Amino acid sequence: MARSLGSLVLVVGPSGVGKDTLIGGAKQALENDRRFTFVRRVVTRPAEVEVEEHDTMEPQAFARAEAMGRFCLSWDAHNLRYGLPISVETDLALGKVVVANVSRHVVSEARRRYPGCAVVLITAEISRRAERLTNRGRESGDQITARLARESAPVPTGINPIIIDNSGGIAIGVTAFVMALRTIAAQE
C-alpha cells in the first residue's frame, strides 16, 4: 500500500455531467495555489482537444507501461484503457491535493491504495447531460440515448462523496467544485 501525505481527489460521475469542464475551471482558478495538482490521464484514444485533456497512448504501449508499473491506477471504460501516471504518488508524498477524473469502477482500488482519498461525485439533470453529449459530437443520437439509459455504477458502499450538481451554469459548478477542493485541502 502506498503511503501518502497529500489527498487524492477522485472526480466521478456519468458522461455528460461536465467533469472535465469543472476540472479545467478549477485548474485555472487554482493555478497559483501550489497545494493543488491536476492529473492528466493517459487514454488509449487519439487526442481530441475539444473533448478532454489527456495523453494518448497506443494500446500495446499502454499494456507495456502498465506492466512496468508506470501507472498508479488503471482501468477499462468504454472500450478504452485509462491510467493515472505514477507521478501521482510523488505529488501525494509532497503533500499535494491531487485531482483526477476517474471511473467509479476504480474507486475501491484507489481507496485501498490511498486510504485518505476523497470522492467528488458530479451530477447533472439528464436533459443537460443529453445536450452536452450531443454537443460533444462523438456519438450518434442512438448511442447517446443508450449511454443515458445505462445505469451508472454506484459509488462503493461506505463512501460518502461530496456531491456537486452541475446542471446550472459553468461558473456555478466551478465555484462549487473549487470550494469543495479548498475544503479538502484545509482538512490536511
Q: Is 39 annotated as a binding residue?
A: no
Q: What is the pLDDT of residue 167?
A: 94
Kindly report, residue by residue over 46-99, the tens digit of the pLDDT: 655 445 677 888 899 999 999 999 999 999 987 889 999 999 999 999 999 999
Counting as low any pLDDT under 50, the low residues of the chain are 1-4, 49-50
20 is in an annotated binding site: yes
* Residue 71 identity (one-letter amino acid): F
pTM attached to this predicted model: 0.88
Asked whether residue 17 is marked as a ligand-binding residue, the answer is yes
pLDDT at 2: 47
The predicted pLDDT at position 50 comes to 46
- The answer on whether 25 is annotated among ligand-binding residues is no
**C-alpha to C-alpha distance for 14 and 152, rounded to whole angstroms:** 6
The residue type of 45 is: R
For the chain, domains (ranges, CATH) are 7-186 (3.40.50.300)
Sign of torsion over alpha carbons 132, 138, 143, 148:
negative
The pLDDT, as a whole number, for residue 127 is 86
**CA-based nearest residue to 110, from 72, 141, 81, 159:** 72
Grid coordinates representing 35 are 497545494
At 114 the pLDDT is 93
For residue 108, say whether it is annotated as part of any ligand binding site. Answer: no
How far is the C-alpha of 17 from the C-alpha of 120, rounded, in Å? 12
